């Protein structure tokens, strides 16, 4: 009986250790759907620091970086930057920089606040 209990305990410890906890940086990777928002939208974070987002008929892309364990700095590219500079009518606009604070993240859900304090809720797309 003791051997059986020991084997079960050893198996449980091995299972718990194999699950481990993933860091927010790892959990962020993949495609997310914005929920609790009338317009909806999706965003996909890639391992190389790039992202692509869609909201309605608008698609944006750019780069992101972690400034600490909870804060993301997002640089959205301006799709018209090169065109406006070539036309010479407007100064070149290099895009938009935003910060988001991660409130919580797991394999299925993510909650973040933007710089204005608006809460954004996402679910992972399968």
Low-confidence ranges of the chain (pLDDT < 70): 1-20, 79-94
In this structure, which CATH number among 3.20.20.120, 1.25.40.10, 2.40.128.370, 1.10.3720.10 belongs to the domain 22-124?
Answer: 2.40.128.370
- pTM flag (> 0.85): no
Specify the pLDDT at position 96. Answer: 87
Quick one: tokens of 97?
Answer: 């920089």
Domain ranges in the chain are 22-124
8 A C-beta contact, residue 46 and residue 55:
no
8 A C-beta contact, residue 124 and residue 109:
yes
Cα distances from 53 to residues 29, 46, 66, 73, 126, in angstroms, run: 13, 12, 18, 15, 16
8 A C-beta contact, residue 16 and residue 23:
no
């Amino acid at each position: 009986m003791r051997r059986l209990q020991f084997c079960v305990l050893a198996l449980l410890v091995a299972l718990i250790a194999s699950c481990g906890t993933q860091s927010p940086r790892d959990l962020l990777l993949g495609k997310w759907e914005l929920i609790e928002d009338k317009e909806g939208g999706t965003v996909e974070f890639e391992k190389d620091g790039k992202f692509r987002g869609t909201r309605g008929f608008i698609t944006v892309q750019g780069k992101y970086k972690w400034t600490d364990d909870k804060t993301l700095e997002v640089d959205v590219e301006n799709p018209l930057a090169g065109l406006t500079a070539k036309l010479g009518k407007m100064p070149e606009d290099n895009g938009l920089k935003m910060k988001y604070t991660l409130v919580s993240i797991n394999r299925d859900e993510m909650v973040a606040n933007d710089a204005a304090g608006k809460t954004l809720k996402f679910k992972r797309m399968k």
